[in-house]
Amino acid sequence: MKAKEILKTMKPYKPGKGIEGVKKEYGLDRIVKLASNENPYGFSPKVQEELPSLIQKLEIYPDGYAAAIRNKVAQFIDVSEEQLIFGNGSDEVVQIICRTFLEPGANTVMATPTFPQYRHNALIEGAEVREVPLVDGHHDLDEMVNQVDDKTRVLWICTPNNPTGVHIDKASLRSVLDRCPDHVLVVIDEAYYEYLEAEDAFDALGALEEHPNLVVLRTFSKAYGLAGLRIGYGVAHPDVINLLEPAREPFNTSTVAQAAAIIALDDQSFIHESVQKNKENKEQLMKFFDENGISYYDTQANFVLVHLPISGDEMFEHLLTKGFIVRSGEALGLPNTIRLTIGKEEDMKVIQEEMKDRIVSGVN
């Protein structure tokens, strides 16, 4: 058998240590997962209430057009239904974009480190990946535009960026869109959109009319708390959607995910509460970092990238023994950092003490 050459150089996604495994290994009753930027408050109680009624007709294939959630999202974000494409998480929309636009001989431009799925899927399609290092946690947008040539098909922008949490201001984004040639699809991944409250935030959806080469990605996995159901979407000009649709599997979002997403969208008070609590806990965490001389990136998301005087792996191991699963930055090429999802107030208090013990007192 012969697989694509490139796959030999790639690793399968390595899932974090399972919660049950960690509990057993360290004799803990409770594990707090702060590694994947999930919503610590769960998901809308309205979805929970309605769930039994959503689990029906499972013998029937889902609506491949996702008509009901399509209509709902179109109204909610004020675009036309023809401007939407749904995916099994926005991860899948990333994959569909790569399947549609990338191939050997083509190239794609992105920051590094950023969300790893852009690179992963681009490589599988055989495209050249041009990675432009972040500067101080920020996309180096000038250099990214510099890297664009006539073979460039897709330029990826993640704002707020995963893993740094830093957002890109509107003047900078407008300038990228103005400078990027029409043959390049610009993807703005807004997975953390709901948490973004900066005054200079860019209205990416508002830019769609003027820039038909733009795709905006959103997801129900983060603030909406539905990561386990897998549903996200892309918004673009109908012509772009028409290019993408043939590369989409016909029944890629499940009946339950489509129905749950509708109810979740209707419960904006759950989102507001989650965002508000995230903000309070984030401010408290920053205060702790400031007081202890720990530096961090100014995040606009529900996670923070923290600089440590020790290696990220060491801190990861230490926190693991205390029941906290975080993400070490070492593998991302960010030495002496961890990425920490901002969790519940009581858990953040404990993790702060544990971090302090390890750093200030050198406790093992």
Ligand X SMILES: *Cc1c(COP(=O)(O)O)cnc(C)c1O
Q: Taking each helix axis from N to C terminus, what angle separates 255-266 and 45-54, rounded to the nearest 10 degrees?
A: 150
Per CB under 6 A, 221 contacts ligand X: yes
Nearer to ligand X, 83 or 114 (CB): 114
- Contact between 194 and ligand X per CB under 6 A: no
Structure tokens at 73: 């999202």
According to the binding rule CB under 6 A, does residue 232 interact with ligand X?
A: yes
Smallest gap from residue 300 Cβ to ligand X (A): 12
For the CB of residue 227, give the shortest distance to ligand X in the complex, in Å: 5
β pairing state of 32-33 and 84-87: unpaired
- 159 is a site residue for ligand X (CB under 6 A): no
The type of residue at 281 is N
Nearer to ligand X, 211 or 327 (CB): 327
State yes or no: residue 234 binds ligand X (CB under 6 A). no
* Cβ-based nearer residue to ligand X, 101 or 118: 118
- Interface pick for ligand X out of 40, 62, 89, 113 (rule CB under 6 A): 89
Does residue number 352 form part of the binding site for ligand X (CB under 6 A)?
no
Region binding ligand X by CB under 6 A among candidate stretches 99-107, 129-137, 215-223, 275-283: 215-223
b (16+ CB within 10 A) / e for 310-348: ebbebbbebbbebbbbbbbbbebebebbbbbbbbeeebb
337 membership: H or E segment, kind and range: strand 337-341
Q: Which residues pair with 108 in a beta bridge?
A: 129, 154
The yes or no reply on residue 189 touching ligand X (CB under 6 A) is yes
Minimum separation from the CB atom of position 159 to ligand X (A): 9
Q: Round to whole Å and give the CA distance between 304 and 340.
A: 5
Residue 152 vs residues 42, 104, 130, 168, 208: alpha-carbon distances, Å:
40, 11, 9, 22, 20
Q: Shortest CA distance to 190 belongs to which of 224, 213, 152?
A: 224
> Which of 43, 86, 101, 115: binder of ligand X (CB under 6 A)?
115
Nearer to ligand X, 90 or 108 (CB): 90
Task: Please choose, out of 26-34, 85-93, 122-130, 325-333, the segment that lies near ligand X by the rule CB under 6 A.
Answer: 85-93
Please say whether the dihedral angle defined by the alpha carbons of residues 288, 294, 298 and 302, taken in this order, is positive or negative.
Answer: negative
Applying CB under 6 A, does 156 fall inside the site for ligand X? no
Q: Which two tokens stand for residue 265?
A: 């969208």
Q: Give yes or no for residue 122 binding ligand X (CB under 6 A).
A: no
Nearer to ligand X (CB atom), residue 91 or residue 194: 91
Least distance (Å) from ligand X to the CB of residue 136? 19
For residues 217 and 234, the answer to whether their CB atoms sit within 8 Å is yes
By the rule CB under 6 A, 329 interacts with ligand X:
no
Site for ligand X (CB under 6 A): which residue of 110, 123, 132, 158?
Answer: 158
Instruction: Give the distance from CA 173 to its chain's centroid.
Output: 18
The C-alpha atoms of residue 29 and residue 44 are separated, in whole angstroms, by: 26
State yes or no: residue 90 binds ligand X (CB under 6 A).
yes
The residues binding ligand X (CB under 6 A) are 37, 89-91, 115, 158, 162, 189, 191, 219, 221-222, 227, 232
